[in-house]
Structure 1
Amino acid sequence: MSPSAPAAVSDRQRHVEDDLLHTVLASFRNTADPRLKELMESLVRHLHGFIRETRLTEDEWQRAVDFLTAAGHITTDHRQEFVLLSDVLGASMQTININHDATAGGTEATVVGPFFVEGSPEIPRGGDMAGGASGEPCWVEGTVTDTDGNPVPGARLEVWEADDDGFYDVQYEEGQLAGRAHLFTDEQGAYTFWGLTPTPYPIPHDGPVGELLAKTGRSPLRASHLHFMATAPGLRTLITHIFVEGDELLSSDAVFGVKESLVKKFERFTAGTPAPDGRELSGGSWSRVRFDIVLQPSQG
């Protein structure tokens, strides 16, 4: 038997453990909400199953409690450690997979991440969402349609991304809004804006989640991406992002958010190449990407 293999469990011990499980399950028998009852009973079964399968020690359980306590202490209005934990365990993406049918014909969804905030500035079509954030300019264009191919005029697009140093605006003490904005599609469902060419960056790893990644030999790096949230009356809200074709991190994204359909070609242009809208660029390179969004019908 290997050192990590659980010891054999006697019939008497198994009976004691089964008895506790049944007692805990019975404690929820008067739950008025049937869905809550279902969730709590399933949670208890799986949690007890994990504890029993691994023969969890009291020290290990205390360390788990300490971990969750530390996650709570480091969480703020702009730093959600429990979202990070959900993300790095794949729980966020699995929940999204379950709730967004891949065969329904809409653009695939992915994680919202911990850095979305309300109150982004509005920009006109063709406007610049960088707001002073550092990075290479990127011209982003596309359309928003429904699953029948009809254009969706007036769809609201929230867009946000990290700067060239791998930080979102909320990670800076100044409190400046940069690298995020919202805009609306035109009568043909089209949109355009200037953003930044996405670059890789690490999720916050100076807390308990970062320590977990380090101890398990995992990188905190996310594949380069640009976030989108698309909303329109009568259609299902989409939270997604697009990734950069050729990025070496596509197969090892720290939060498992990459989907093949969301990997896009960012065409690069050298300094001096005219911009699509005639913008005067300050002598540097820039990129261009197209992302056509398809929204599913509202679930009611």
Structure 2
Amino acid sequence: MRNLDEHTVTQAVVDLLSGTPDPRLKLILVRLITHLHNFAREVELTEEELLEAILFLTATGQKCSDKRQEFILLSDVLGLSMLTVAMNNKKPEGCTESTVFGPFHVEGAPVYDNGADIANGAVGEPCLVRGTVKDRNGVPIAGAELEVWQADAEGNYDVQYPDLKTHQARGVLRSRPDGSFEFRTVVAVAYPIPVDGPVGDLLRATGRHPWRPAHLHFMIKAKQYQTLVTHVFRNGDQYLDSDAVFGVRQTLVADWIRQPDGGYTLNYDFVLNPAD
């Protein structure tokens, strides 16, 4: 492997992967290296630019914590997250569409009964959320686990408040025997993704805005059904057509209905796809 040049180094690296035991790992690495090297040749990447990219990725890792995943955020704003979701969640017509996971899911969300207030003190206008979980034939799915999380009226998730000791606007509940569920929370609002890290630097450098349209996150699990990770977006939001992370699907847009008492209601039904 002496005297390698810009034309021969790629094959030399690929040849060293010939003994990789895992065929899937081998395929991914070979294609990644090939495309990465071809990209560097295509743009005539300089040493200074490579170092800048390495420092950017280093800073991205340093920004990650148990409450924030900057690499997920980076994947989101580059459209890679939504591309992967779209490729891996092809479902029959009528099933609820999947969308991006986002960087603010955390383990250990509190468990609630139906009808409970999962806002738990989060600021915002009151909202009652109701719906059902069913299969493609309209059969109710009892005992489905619904995990919900959202930002408050300030556009922040609970984990973004360093001094907050309890979870807010986040919880887990199960569908009733008839597949129905309901909980109280606060009205979803549009908010900017965090811009105090490398992802924010990237958005500013490219002239992009950081805003996401108002939405609720849902992750729904049920035996013998595919896990659904999705959002429900608020109809009429100004950022529906320019979501910073490309996650909007028209079938996931719903109306928040204003009530005479000043609160809101949201009704949305989820349709799960069988696991097989």
TM-score band w.r.t. shorter chain: over 0.9
Instruction: Name the counterpart of 1:72.
Output: 61
Deviation at 1:148, TM superposition (A): 2.4
Does the 8 Å CA contact 2:91/2:273 hold for their aligned counterparts? no
How far off its partner does 1:119 sit? 1.2
Q: Secondary structure at the match of 1:50?
A: helix
Aligned to 1:56: 45
Is 1:288 aligned to residue 270 of structure 2? no
Q: Distance in 2 between matches of 1:45 and 1:105?
A: 39
Tell me which of 179, 188, 208 is aligned to 1:189.
179
Matches within 5 A, 1:148-159: 148-159=137-148
Residue 234 (structure 2) aligns with: 244
Partner of 2:26: 37
Asked whether the equivalents of residues 200 and 222 of structure 1 are also in contact (C-alpha less than 8 Å), the reply is yes
Q: Which moved more, 1:143-152 or 1:126-135?
A: 143-152
User: Which segments of structure 1 move beyond 3 Å, counting only runs of 4 or more?
Assistant: 102-105
Question: 2:94 & 2:25 partners in 1: Cα distance?
Answer: 31
Aligned-pair distance for 1:263?
0.6
Alpha carbons 1:105, 1:296 under 8 Å: kept: no
Partner of 1:264 in structure 2? 254
Aligned partner of 1:218 among 186, 208, 214: 208
DSSP-derived class of the 2:129 partner: strand
Which structure 2 residue ranges, 5 or more long, are not aligned? Answer: none
Deviation at 1:18, TM superposition (A): 2.9
Deviation, 1:102, is 4.5
Aligned to 1:100: 89
Residues 93-146 of structure 1: CA distance to partner in whole angstroms, max 9, x if unpaired?
Answer: 100000000445421011111111111111111111101000011111111011
Preserved CA contact (<8 Å) 1:161 1:225: yes
Give unpaired runs (5+ residues) of structure 1: 1-14, 273-284
Higher radius of gyration, 1 or 2: 1
RMSD of Structure 2 on Structure 1 (CA): 1.3
Q: Tell me, in whole angstroms, the C-alpha distance in 2 between the residues paired with 1:195 and 1:229.
A: 16
Distance in 1 (alpha carbons) for counterparts of 2:190 and 2:91: 26
**Which range moves more in the overlay, 166-175 or 84-93?**
166-175
Give how far 1:38 is off. Answer: 0.6
Contact 1:144 1:190 in 2 (8 A): yes
1:170–1:176 CA contact under 8 A, matched in 2 = no
Question: Structure 2: how far apart are the matches of 1:260 and 1:66?
Answer: 38
1:146 aligned to 135, 140, 143, which one?
135
Q: Percent identity?
A: 48
Deviation of residue 290 (structure 1)?
1.2
TM-score (norm 1): 0.88
SS, match of residue 17 in structure 1: coil
